Amino acid sequence: MTAMHSVDAILMITSQCPHCASVMKSMAEMVKQGGLASLEIINLEKKPEMAEKLGIRSVPWIKIGWFELEGLHSQKELQQKAEQAGSDEGALAYISEELTAGRVNKVLTLINDRHDLIGHVLSLMADADAKINIRLGIGVVMEEHAAADWFVPYIAQLAQFTQHKDERVRADACHYLSLTENKEAVPHICALLADASAEVREVAEESLQELRESGLQL
């Protein structure tokens, strides 16, 4: 077994954990075969402060690259995560999985540490038929981060969705642009005032009003 690239990993265990030994064996084998560059194993009974620091609620707790996993996973699954950890496709798949599972708080935490991950969240908007948890999760992330100074370079990526063929995506993009409270969003919102969809036009009007109420001079 040969991984496309090797990443470092951390495994948190306890002596009473029924699945920790299996996961530890799999990950040790991955180090041996080159699927992981290194593996750090920590017994939380000896370092309970680590559980509090990382918000760990169950073991085995695994970190492969920047991916965080919990519970029993096969060596094949772990190897797949190791191979995905350094790719944009893998990052997109991981964030999609987390939002689908309703773990939006984890995604928020990840973005706090790595702002570039917001680009993957925005990319998920391209799927107009995405599961409801993904659409709701994107909304939560945007509510939290759209007005941040570091988000400004991503306004252009978000604005692209104002031209999406699906009116739901255009409406969402319009609303999220209003959350940026940034003048760069204004022309993209104004363009939607003439949208073919009455719903999108209404959202555009509401979005401009929200920008005015935020104190932005239009």
- As given in the structure block, the two tokens for residue 10 are 């951390």
Q: pTM score, two decimals?
A: 0.84
- Domains parsed from the chain with CATH numbers: 7-84 (3.40.30.10), 87-145 (no CATH), 150-218 (1.25.10.10)
Structural contact between residues 174 and 200, judged by C-beta atoms closer than 8 angstroms: yes
3-class DSSP assignment, residue 58: coil
Given this model, what pLDDT does residue 125 score? Answer: 96
Q: Give me the amino acid identity at 19.
A: H
- As given in the structure block, the two tokens for residue 160 are 């692209």
Average pLDDT of the residues in 64-70 = 93
* Mean pLDDT, all residues of the chain: 94
Q: Does pLDDT of 192 surpass 50?
A: yes
Burial category of 79 from C-beta neighbours within 10 Å (exposed 0-12, middle 13-18, buried 19 and up):
buried
Q: Does pLDDT of 1 surpass 90?
A: no
Given this model, what pLDDT does residue 5 score? Answer: 63
The total of other beta-carbon atoms located within 10 Å of residue 45's CB is 12
Structural contact between residues 63 and 84, judged by C-beta atoms closer than 8 angstroms: no
Of 93, 95, 98, which is closest to residue 80 (Cα–Cα)? 93
Burial category of 138 from C-beta neighbours within 10 Å (exposed 0-12, middle 13-18, buried 19 and up):
buried
Q: How far apart are CA 30 and CA 39, in angstroms?
A: 9
Helices (H) and strands (E) in the chain, counts: 11, 4
Q: Does pLDDT of 218 surpass 90?
A: no
| Apex 182 CA angle, 131 and 117, nearest 5 | 40
Given this model, what pLDDT does residue 2 score? Answer: 41
Structural contact between residues 141 and 103, judged by C-beta atoms closer than 8 angstroms: no
Could you tell me which residue, 84 or 154, shows the higher pLDDT? 154
Structural contact between residues 78 and 64, judged by C-beta atoms closer than 8 angstroms: yes
